[in-house]
Amino acid sequence: MFHGHHDLVFLGLSLAVAMLGAWTALDLFRRVEGKAGRERGIWLGSAACAMGLGIWSMHFVAMLGFDPGAPVSYDPALTLLSLVLAVGATAVAFVVAASDRAGRAPLVAAGTLMGIGICLMHYVGMAALETAVPMGYDMPLVALSLLIAIVAATAALFVARGEKGTATRIAATVALGLAVVGMHYTAMAALSLMPVGGHAMGAGAAPAYPLAFGVAGTTILILFLALMASLYDQRANILAALEAGGVGYWELDLRNCHLHISPKGKALYGLAADERLSYAEALNRIAPGSRAERERELAQAIATGADYDVEYPLLDGGRWVNARGRTMADGNGRATRMVGVVIDVTERRRALERIVVSERRQRLLVDELNHRVKNTLSTIQSLSRHMASGAPSVASFHRDLEGRILALSSTHNVLTQRGWEGADLAEILTGTLASHPPERVVLGGGSVTLDTREALAIGMVFHEMATNAARHGALAGPEGRIEVRWRLEQGADGEALHLDWHELGLASETPAPREPGLGLRIIGRSIEGELGGEARMERHPGGIRWRLRIPVRARATA
């Protein structure tokens, strides 16, 4: 009784096939995650075929290295059945492992079924071996080979379900390859052969080396193609995710400046997916002022290996893009290509510009407010001092001071609504006369925007005029009315606002005061002193007319 001879070349070849099959199966099984329907079934089937084919090929190659001491041949039907058993058992087990609800117990059961299938594959394959030497089996070793197959299969399922990192997959691949080969040679150790004299290898024996390398090569090719399909699927998923995120992908060959760019990247440069974009054309689409910076950043990234990250505007209407990349080196450490992404950052740039403008405006507004608050407090202080010296009573002082403070507040409100960048003359005038019946007030003129200094001074003037009209002028009687008209005129000394305030329908002619009161002095100081303009009041039977001329930095907006 003897156990035959095993060629070490075939042992090494079978181990390589087993490990490659395990690596490929684990990689393909990872593709199942996130897939559904028909696509999920395809990847599950591919993983099962890879694992089953790897195990079967390992078994067949190892069997070709087995020499029982007599000519051998193989039954094609039983050999094919052994392949079906390996793939089928692996497929069932992988379906269970891929289920989201599969716990520890289902995985152990599936591993047991897969181990039995692998063991059956081996012994059916042994049954396909036809030789004149009688064969028998040592049952304890057969049981041990079955146990090794079950443990190896169960471990494979747990690894396939839980492995994430490359190091874990390498360790699992080596362990599974050794376990599968160990199972095979344990089963071969269980084989007992009875020597038969007078038998030598006949001329018709199968050429072991060519057949072994042919089977192994074919298996490796199939597994390699499966790995390429997995890598292609992974690349397609990454590119689809980039496209969905509005990110373009590009590769630049640094040796010949050949540029490959994804359809989304071409779209960012204003091209259709089927249009060609060369490296030179991509440079020409960058705004001229940014090309030198872009070249400098690229050269630095190539020279130092640092990440390439630069933003630049394109020629097509102010669009900005952010190009990021990283150099890839060859075996000698020389940068040969660069890969990266390109992103449209136009909205981000505009948002940053708006933030900068907003911050600048906010600083100006705070400075303006600080200045105007000081001026307003100074104005109130001056008013209160002058009013206190001539007020007939405390109640009169309180009433007049409150009215003037409210007039300043009303103008402040108009300025605040426009960010203290100006105020509309008609809006100030309408607010001043809002307490009077609209049929007694006629306004006419274009839209004129005043700056803050002009608005505050003219707002106070309107308050004094309206107060005088309500107490002593046209609005004091039942029939009086006010007509206010204004226009901008360009004169020899620049642009000026001409305003005509006309009070009509006075009940009786009001005699001219012997000396101007505080209201008239405020009008004069505001128009002539602060704004450098002219203010004239004319009296006529039944009416009063104010003619104001104010040099302004305003411009008509309508």
Q: How many CB atoms lie within 10 A of CB 125?
A: 25
Cβ atoms < 10 Å from Cβ of 175: 16
C-alpha closest to that of 131 among 199, 65, 62: 199
Residues 457, 404: contact at Cβ < 8 Å? no
Look up residue 130 and give its two tokens. 């036809």
- Cα separation, 459 vs 557, in Å, equals 19
Per-residue CA distances from 82 to 14, 24, 540 (Å): 16, 21, 124
Task: Give the C-alpha separation, 509 to 512, whole Å.
Answer: 9
Q: What's the DSSP call for residue 333?
A: S
Q: Using an 8 Å Cβ cutoff, are 346 and 318 in contact?
A: yes
Q: What are the structure tokens assigned to 21, written together? A: 């099959």
| Amino acid 389: pLDDT | 66
Which residues of the chain are modeled with pLDDT < 50?
Answer: 1-4, 198-207, 514, 554-558
- Residues 357-391: pLDDT tens digits? 888 888 877 887 787 677 777 777 776 766 666 66
For residue 100, the Cα-to-chain-centroid distance in whole angstroms is: 30
pLDDT for the residue 115: 84
Angle at alpha carbon of residue 315, lines to 313 and 320, rounded to 5°: 25
Domain extents in the chain: 5-197+205-241, 246-344, 350-556
At the topology level, CATH places domain 350-556 in Heat Shock Protein 90 (3.30.565)
Confirm if 53 and 86 have CB atoms less than 8 A apart: yes
User: What residues contact 537, with CB distance under 8 A and at least 6 apart?
Assistant: 520, 544, 545, 546, 547
Contact of 186 with 141, CB cutoff 8 Å:
yes
The set of long-range contacts for 296-303, using a CB threshold of 8 Å and a minimum separation of 24, is 301/325, 301/326, 301/327, 301/338, 302/254, 302/327, 302/335, 302/338
- Give dist(CA 16, CA 216) in Å, integer: 9
Question: For residue 558, what pLDDT is reported?
Answer: 41
- The radius of gyration of the chain's CA atoms, rounded to the nearest angstrom, is 48
For residue 411, how far is the Cα from the chain centroid?
A: 46
Report the pLDDT value the prediction gives residue 300, as an integer from 0 to 100. Answer: 86
List own/partner pairs for 198-201 with CB under 8 A and 24 or more apart.
Answer: 199/69, 199/70, 199/71, 199/132, 199/133, 201/70, 201/71
Around Cβ 343, how many Cβ atoms within 10 Å? 20
In the 3-class helix/strand/coil scheme, how is 63-94 assigned residue by residue? HHCEECCCCEEECHHHHHHHHHHHHHHHHHHH
Sheet of strand 423-424: strand arrangement: 423-424, 448-450, 555-556
- Asked if 427 and 413 touch (Cβ cutoff 8 Å), the reply is no
CATH of segment(s) 246-344: 3.30.450.20
C-alpha to C-alpha distance for 345 and 309, rounded to whole angstroms:
13
Largest Cα–Cα distance of the chain, in whole Å? 155
Helix (H, G, I), strand (E, B) or coil at 135: strand
Amino acid occupying residue 268 = L
Q: Which tokens go with 65?
A: 């290295």
Contacts of 413-419 with CB under 8 Å at 24 or more apart are 414/455, 414/459, 415/452, 415/455, 415/456, 419/361, 419/365
User: H or E element: which one contains 414?
Assistant: helix 394-417
